[in-house]
Amino acid sequence: MNHLQDDELTSMLNIPAIGGVHSNNPLKLIRKSFFYNMMWATFFSCLYLVLFFIIDFWQIKAAIIILLIVHLWGILSAFRQYKSINFSISADQSVLEVLKAQHRSVKTWISAHLKMGLLIYPVSIAGSFMLGGAIGSSKSIEVFMSRPNVLLILIVLLIVLIPACHYLAKILIKHSFGKHLIVLQKNIDDLESEEV
Amino acid sequence: MSENRFLTLIKENQGIIYKLVSIYANDADEKKDMYQEILLNAWKGWPAFRGDSKFSTWLYRISLNTLLTLRRKPSRIDYTDSLNDISPLTDSNSTYNDDSMRLRQAIRLLSETNRAIVSMHLDGYENSEIAEFMGISNNHVSVKLHRCKEEISNLLKR
Q: Domain ranges in chain B? A: 1-77, 84-158
Report the C-alpha gap between A165 and A145 in whole angstroms. 24
Size of chain A in residues: 196
Q: Provide the b/e sequence for B25-42 (b: ≥16 CB within 10 Å).
A: bbebebbbbbbbbbbbbb
At A34-56, the pLDDT tens digits run 788 788 889 988 988 998 888 87
Structural domain boundaries enclosing A89: 19-192
CA nearest A87 in B: which residue? B41
pLDDT tens digit string along A131-161?
888 888 888 888 888 888 898 999 999 999 9
Q: Find chain A residues with C-beta within 8 A of B103's C-beta.
A: 1
Q: Mean pLDDT, to the nearest integer, of B34-38?
A: 88
**What is the widest separation between alpha-carbon atoms in chain B?**
52
Rounded Cα distance between A89 and B131, Å, is: 19
Residue A8 lies in a domain: no
Contact B134 A95 (CB under 8 A): yes
**Residue A5 placed within a domain:** no
Nearest residue of chain B to residue A89 (CA atoms)? B41
Number of A/B CB contacts below 8 angstroms equals 159
- Cβ-proximal residues to A35 (8 Å cutoff; 6+ apart), any chain: A82
Q: Examine residue A173 and state whether it is found in any structural domain, yes or no.
A: yes
Give the residue from B84, B69, B87, B111 showing the smallest Cα distance to A177: B69
Tell whether the model's pLDDT for residue A8 goes beyond 80.
Answer: no
Mean pLDDT of chain B: 82
Predicted confidence (pLDDT) per residue in B85-139, tens digit: 555 444 444 445 677 788 888 898 998 899 999 999 998 999 999 999 899 999 9
Within-domain flag for A152? yes
Q: Is A123 in contact with A47 (CB distance < 8 Å)?
A: no
Q: How many angstroms separate the CA atoms of B128 and A143, rounded? A: 77
Radius of gyration of chain A (CA): 24
Query: Cβ–Cβ of A89/B45 closer than 8 Å?
Result: yes
- Give B27 to chain A, closest Cα distance, Å: 14
Q: How far is CA A178 from CA A36, A141, B128, in A?
A: 20, 42, 34
Identify all chain A residues contacting B17, using CB atoms and an 8 Å cutoff.
9
B1-77 and B84-158 share one fold: no
Whether residues B93 and A12 touch (CB distance < 8 A) is answered with no
Is A15–B32 a contact, with Cβ atoms under 8 angstroms apart?
no
Dist CA B137 CA B128 (whole Å): 8
Closest CA to B46 of A3, A14, A88, A96: A88
Q: Which of A2, A7, A97 sits opposite B95 (nearest CB)?
A: A2
pTM across the whole model: 0.72
Q: Measure CB to CB from residue A7 to each of B39, B72, B92 and give the nearest one.
A: B92
Domain membership flag for residue A159: yes
CA distance B97 to chain A (A): 9
Indicate the range of A47-51, A188-192, B74-78, B127-131 predicted with least confidence.
B74-78
Kindly indicate whether the domain formed by B1-77 is annotated with CATH number 1.10.1740.10.
Answer: yes
3.40.50.300, 1.10.10.10, 3.60.20.10, 1.10.240.10: CATH of B84-158: 1.10.10.10
Compute the distance between CA of residue B49 and CA of residue B45 in angstroms, rounded to an integer.
Answer: 7
Chain A partners of B113 at a C-beta cutoff of 8 Å?
A: 95, 187, 190-191
Coil vs helix vs strand at A69: helix
Report the alpha-carbon distance of residue B46 to residue B42 in Å, rounded: 6
pLDDT: which is higher, A32 or A107: A107
- pLDDT exceeds cutoff 70 at A165: yes
